[in-house]
Every structure is written in structure tokens, then in C-alpha cells.
Amino acid sequence: MDEARSRKTKRRGAMAAGLLVALAALGLLSAGPASAASRGFSLHNVSHADLKLEAVKPVPTGLCSPNTHCVKPYYPMAFEGRPNVGDEIESSAWEIFELKYGFSPLGGIQYAADIVYGVVGTDATVEYKIYVWSTANTSECKVHGSSKYDCTATDTRLKFMDER
């Protein structure tokens, strides 16, 4: 009699475990999509000039020569959030670019963007290139058309300033 009761208890336990697995699977299937990871690159305008976003473009890979066929001429570019072209950033204000994050066991740049701001009231522009690697974030910047301004780019921190 104890043996029969023991088998019955084992069956109930197995049935309960199976039911829990089924409910968990059903819960996972009905859950919404997970948010994709991104890296926030923050631009701080510490100059006395306003900036106007002129363009957000893909960054060329640099892996193509003029006489060959390019398989992937640009790094992928995708954002979870960013300002719109035409938006302005006032003096002492911040702007955030949420560039998507990706991981590859092979490493390398996963996402990249070329961001161009015009300096309002001048012909000067500032260009930021931002990169998300599998294990790091990098950036670079350059001011075009004026020696009155300067910029810095360190990891995810971007800055625009008056020349000292």
C-alpha cells in the first residue's frame, strides 16, 4: 500500500512539474519583446553658440578599395532614441544619442554613426563619429570651418566648446 501511494505521489509531482514548465513557457510566449540594449552617447554644448543637428549618417567601413566590390560598405546604424535632424541644442544643454549595442564573439564595430551639427549663425560645423564595439565604446570629433570652436570625444562623452 505504501508503494502504491509513493508511485501516486511521484506521478503527481511529475505532473505538477510538467504543468509548471508549460505555464512558464506560455508566460514567455505571451511576454512582450525585450528592449534592445543601447549605449547612450551624451553631447554637452558648453560653448556660447547654439548647435543645429544637420545630419546623422552611416559611417563607411573603410574596407573597400575603388576597384573592388564592397560587401558591406557601411557599419550598421540604428538608434533606440536620438534627436531629429533640425533640432537645436542650446548653450549649456545636453543631447543624448542611444546607439544600439551588439555583441559578436569576433569583436569589431557593431554599430556606428556620423553626427553633424551646424554652429548656428556661422558656416562652421562639428562632426562626431560614435562607435559601439562588442566590448567598448569609442568616439572622435572634428570642427570644420572655424578655429573659434573646439570639441572632445571620449568614450560616450562628447563635448562642444569655445576655443580657449
Global pTM value = 0.73
DSSP string, 62-90: S---TTS--S--B----EEE-PPTT-EE-
**Residue 103 and residue 120 in contact, taking contact as beta carbons nearer than 8 Å:** no
Q: What's the pLDDT score for residue 130? A: 97
Q: Which residues of the chain have pLDDT under 70?
A: 1-36, 63-72
Residues 6+ apart with CB under 8 A from 156: 39, 40, 41, 42, 130, 137, 139
**Residue 143 and residue 161 in contact, taking contact as beta carbons nearer than 8 Å:** no
Rounded Cα distance between 106 and 7, Å, is 51
| β-strands 137-144, 125-133 pairing | antiparallel
In the numeric block, the cell 506521478 is attached to 11
* Mean pLDDT taken over the chain: 82
How do residues 73-96 score in pLDDT, each as one tens digit? 899 999 999 999 999 999 999 999
